[in-house]
Amino acid sequence: MRSVGVEEELLLVDARGGAPLAVSGAVLAAADRLAWQRPGGGPEKHEFEKELQKEQLEFATKPVTEMGELREEIIRIRGEAARHAATAGASVAAIATSPLPVRPSLSVGRRYEWLGKQFGLTAQEQLTCGCHVHVSVASDEEGVEVLDRIRPWLAVLLAMSANSPFWQGEDSGYGSYRSRVWNRWPSAGPVDIFGSADRYHEQVRAMIDTGVLRDEGMMYFDARLSATYPTVEVRVADVCLDPSDAVLMAALVRGLVETAARDWQDGVPPARVGTSLLRLASWRAGRSGLDGPLLHPETLRETSAEHAVSALYQHVREALVAAGEDEWVREGIARLHERGTGARVQRQLLADGGSLASVVGRCAEMTTAT
């Protein structure tokens, strides 16, 4: 069974006023203090890290094999994040963009200073929160063969996770406007087929050698080899409002990785889909979420969201059955279609007579609900 870990980025917000708060330093200090109180503790003994902006907090779960354990981890760490945030007068919200207008504050450090100077408004305005899923692989070679084979399916994951309808106080018209803002980075989005681990690493080195990118951490591909862990890291999703949806993402990503690895071992070549078409599929997914048409991951022709998600499920079903997750994933997909993505939930909260500030407050409550 392949291990799975999840990284989530959360917004630090004023739960009553709704505005993001630049208090990550104080929140991390609170986490550090608690970590020192534990036996053998220290700052490295908690799950939290700073992100690009001071209005964000990032955490990573430990790698697990059981999805029930992963859900417990996400709920536990979100709860800890909320407690640490409260010491700084803030709440945490698992929403991928701020509904209210905001001028983000770059975090302190040489790396963030470099990003600000190099990328200007792209870095300064980049207040977005994603969900990254890590799945273990046996080698870089297996990892790259997986990357080459999961490319057409990633846009469906983006649509299922859509949780960023608002931008700077306006309805963007998108389910995932985060994906549009994120793709301002020059290294972001779908990539070509690599063909081998050597070619992957050659491409990464060539991109860094241009001087446009600082280091390997700036390979903002929709999916990449982790520079830190022996994993494939799928980075396409918005952070999910409901922790169960984050676990659903993790189960589907593991199913994709396992299916792709088996196809490679069986000599099944990757689909030769052009990157330009994958960019269109990604745009369509960000625009629609699950509330409009998507591009079918096999034909790249317009279809309903239900048919696109069903195609993904059928593609990974054998791996889900082997993991004992088939029934749970089917139920999760059905709930997602019925209830809607985080984007639909946010819009419904506003339509029910709320304000954008109250949308943030309700989302903060839902972030840590069990």
Q: For residue range 199-256, list pLDDT tens digits in order.
A: 999 999 999 999 999 999 999 999 999 999 999 999 999 999 999 999 999 999 999 9
What mean pLDDT do residues 107-136 have? 97
pLDDT at 47: 87
What mean pLDDT do residues 71-88 have? 97
Q: Is 91 within the bounds of a domain? A: no
Q: Is 76 within the bounds of a domain? A: no
- DSSP H or E segment with residue 135: strand 130-136
279 phi/psi in degrees, rounded to 5: -65, -40
Q: Is the pLDDT of residue 103 over 90?
A: yes
pLDDT by residue (tens digit) across 23-35? Answer: 999 999 999 888 7
Sequence-separated (6 or more) residues with CB below 8 Å from residue 352? none
Q: Is the pLDDT of residue 267 over 70?
A: yes
Q: Is 320 within the bounds of a domain? A: yes
pLDDT at 211: 97
**CA proximity to 241, closest of 346, 169, 352:** 346
pLDDT at 353: 84
Q: What is the dihedral of CA 163, 164, 165, 170, to 10 degrees?
A: 150
Q: How far is residue 95's CA from residue 162's CA, in Å, rounded to a whole number? A: 9
Q: Residue 215: give its domain's CATH number.
A: 3.30.590.20
Instruction: Quote the domain boundaries for residue 362.
Output: 4-8+102-367
pLDDT at 305: 98
Q: Is 266 within the bounds of a domain? A: yes
pLDDT by residue (tens digit) across 276-327? Answer: 999 999 999 999 999 999 999 999 999 999 999 999 999 999 999 999 999 9
What mean pLDDT do residues 103-119 have? 96
Number of domains in the chain: 1
**CA proximity to 131, closest of 246, 243, 221, 289:** 246
pLDDT at 370: 76
Q: Is 331 within the bounds of a domain? A: yes
What mean pLDDT do residues 36-54 have? 76
Sequence-separated (6 or more) residues with CB below 8 Å from residue 9? 51, 56, 57, 58, 128, 129, 130, 131, 239
pLDDT by residue (tens digit) across 160-214? Answer: 999 999 999 999 999 999 999 999 999 999 999 999 999 999 999 999 999 999 9
Q: Is 26 within the bounds of a domain? A: no
Q: Model-level pTM?
A: 0.96
Q: Is 247 within the bounds of a domain? A: yes
**CA proximity to 285, closest of 349, 167, 190, 363:** 190
Q: Is 70 within the bounds of a domain? A: no
